[in-house]
Chains A and B, each alone.
Chain A
Amino acid sequence: MEKPSIYIYDSARHPFRPLEEFQQVFKYRFLISQLLRRDIVTRYKRSVLGIAWTMLNPLGTMIVLSIAFSQVFKMTEGYPAYVLSGLMAWNFFSQASNASMVNLVWGEGLLKRIYMPKTSFALSAIGTGIVNVLLSLIPMIIVMVAIKVPIKLSILFLPIPIIVLAIFTLGFGLIISTFAVYFPDVAEMYQIVLTAWLYLTPIIYPEDILPSGIKLLISTLNPLYSLVKLFRIPIYYGRMPTFVEWAVPVSFALVFFIVGWMFFVYRSNDFSQKI
């Protein structure tokens, strides 16, 4: 016999929702791992190259960009490695935030009928992103060896920038998925936002080409500037980040995470009200 479950909800004294959501997420960890598995398996099931796409996709983009821009950005040493390391971080952010939105919209029908922690969808999207980013490290290292960019021990530090980026992406993904539940056009608008955002972040161009005024603007207002940089430092630059290079992206990540989590958890009780 399974343990009896008792559910009591009293509007006069209910638990602090954002914390309760954490507990439920832990209880439903099997669901999150199953959603993650589904995302990875179904993405590659019917393609010949399968999982290799995860590695070939950024590699292809990198080659195209290198052919197009390596003359323009001659002063950037090892341009292909510069682009690829930036693209890894960028793809993680753009794909995972987009997937949190798509997953939640997919699950909406279920959410009206059965209980599950609603953050599961965003969490599994982030998990899928982490798997993909780890896989794309393989082509990254191959490229670095091929174009003779030295690989330093600092690369072992990479998991931490990945975690910081994941926390930011989760917070941001939760905010946009909340809007996407209510408005179907948000998903489409987001594609345009992403394109603009990519060009407002030094990913395919070196940050030194920015005029100092614009650089200041981007580095303070665009969270991805410091997040992508933190990601790039241990691979491409082969060193450890300084205190400021740390503090800025970590604060961005924490603020977005806390705001996103609270906003989503409080709004999500209303998702099932939609008629």
Chain B
Amino acid sequence: MSYRIKFSNVFVNYRIPSEKIGTFKEYMIKMVQGKIHHRTFAALQNINLEIYHGEVFGLIGRNGAGKSTMLKIIARVLTPSSGRIEVNGNVSPMLELGAGFHPELSGRENIFLNGALLGFSKHEMDEKFNRIVEFAELENFIDAPMRTYSSGMWARLGFAVATDSQPEILLVDEVLAVGDEQFQQKCFERIESFQKDGTTIIIVAHNMSTISQKCDRVCWIDHGEAKFIGLPDEAIQKYRLSQ
């Protein structure tokens, strides 16, 4: 089977100050005193991994083990310090739904703004607009400012914009909690239909039952190293034993 994502010898090093410096003033004073030291933190070490077409791939590990760093690399938010990453297909991250909306703008204006943040062009957004409004069930409120929306409406619009067209790769970083139960069902259906149509889904979750139910394969990361890649139950077992 062909791969969608390939990590080859990926290393990521963070350069972090050895003590927390909160303000610029403090930084300048410490710099003059020669007290600024950085240490290198290896967030990912020699990751070699292929994630396939249509696969649901889980990432588990402790906080700070490197799971979000992996997602950031795939979403090209961060580049590897060394190594090679190949991502075939467009990546859609499930944002904290509705991040980037502006309360003073209308729903209509926010759809275009949020679409632009996700990298779509004007032309693509014109084409998507009606489907987004329909899916979010906001036909009657679309020209009202978003500050008048309930949190459920807010989240519905966020989900609808983010998932209007099928992405080749979907990154899911947290449990989906969108609006009422009926709408949540609609969201899950949409994600499942993406999966049937070949979207690769990458899930980071702390809930092991979600991982074992949904994932085809799981990678357990510890201290930036991929300790195990394979079947979910096996990975979970190894992860639990290590704790």
Task: Specify which of B78, B122, B173 lies most central, judged by the most chain A CB atoms within 10 Å of its CB.
Answer: B78
Q: Which residue of B lies closest to A106 (CB)?
A: B100
As a 0/1 sequence over residues 155 to 182 of chain A, the CB contacts with chain B under 8 angstroms (1 = contact) are 0000000000000000000000001001
Contact B90 A2 (CB under 8 A): yes
Contact B88 A186 (CB under 8 A): no
Interchain CA distance A46-B103 in the complex, whole Å: 12
Of A6-14, A86-94, A128-136, A196-204, the one with at least 4 CB within 8 A of chain B: A6-14
Interface size of B by Cβ–Cβ distance < 8 Å? 52
Is the CB of A184 closer than 8 A to any CB of chain B?
Answer: yes
As a 0/1 sequence over residues 5 to 26 of chain A, the CB contacts with chain B under 8 angstroms (1 = contact) are 1111111101000000000000
Contact A272 B87 (CB under 8 A): no
Task: Specify which of B21, B82, B99, B117 lies most central, judged by the most chain A CB atoms within 10 Å of its CB.
Answer: B117
Interface size class of A (residues with CB under 8 A): 35 or more
Given contacts A42-B104, A42-B105, A183-B27, contact A112 B84 (CB under 8 A): no
CB B87 to nearest CB in A, in angstroms, measures: 4
Q: Which residue of A lies closest to B76 (CB)?
A: A115
Q: Inside 8 A of B15's CB, which chain A residues have their CB? A: 270, 273
Contact A8 B86 (CB under 8 A): yes
Interchain CA distance A226-B109 in the complex, whole Å: 40
Q: Inside 8 A of A115's CB, which chain B residues have their CB? A: 75-77, 91, 119
Q: Which residue of B lies closest to A34 (CB)?
A: B116
Contact A114 B81 (CB under 8 A): no
Contact A41 B80 (CB under 8 A): no
Is the CB of A211 closer than 8 A to any CB of chain B?
Answer: no
As a 0/1 sequence over residues 81 to 122 of chain B, the CB contacts with chain A under 8 angstroms (1 = contact) are 111111111110101100110101100010011001111111
As a 0/1 sequence over residues 98 to 115 of chain A, the CB contacts with chain B under 8 angstroms (1 = contact) are 000000000001111111
As a 0/1 sequence over residues 1 to 42 of chain B, the CB contacts with chain A under 8 angstroms (1 = contact) are 000000000000011100001111101000000000000000
Contact A11 B87 (CB under 8 A): no
Q: Inside 8 A of B78's CB, which chain A residues have their CB? A: 269, 272-273
Q: Inside 8 A of A182's CB, which chain B residues have their CB? A: 24, 27
- Out of A9, A30, A42, which one reaches B116, CB within 8 Å? A30
Contact B87 A45 (CB under 8 A): no
Contact A38 B119 (CB under 8 A): no
CB B114 to nearest CB in A, in angstroms, measures: 9
CB A1 to nearest CB in B, in angstroms, measures: 9
- Out of A10, A31, A113, A189, which one reaches B93, CB within 8 Å? A113
Some 21 contacts from A to B, beta carbons below 8 A apart, are: A4-B90, A6-B89, A7-B87, A8-B85, A9-B85, A11-B83, A14-B79, A30-B121, A35-B113, A35-B116, A41-B104, A110-B100, A113-B75, A113-B77, A114-B118, A115-B76, A179-B24, A183-B21, A184-B23, A185-B24, A272-B72
**3 nearest CB pairs, A to B:** A183-B24, A31-B116, A34-B116
Known: A11-B80, A182-B27. 15 other contacts (CB 8 A): A5-B89, A6-B89, A9-B85, A30-B122, A30-B125, A34-B116, A35-B113, A109-B99, A113-B75, A113-B95, A113-B99, A114-B93, A114-B118, A272-B77, A273-B16
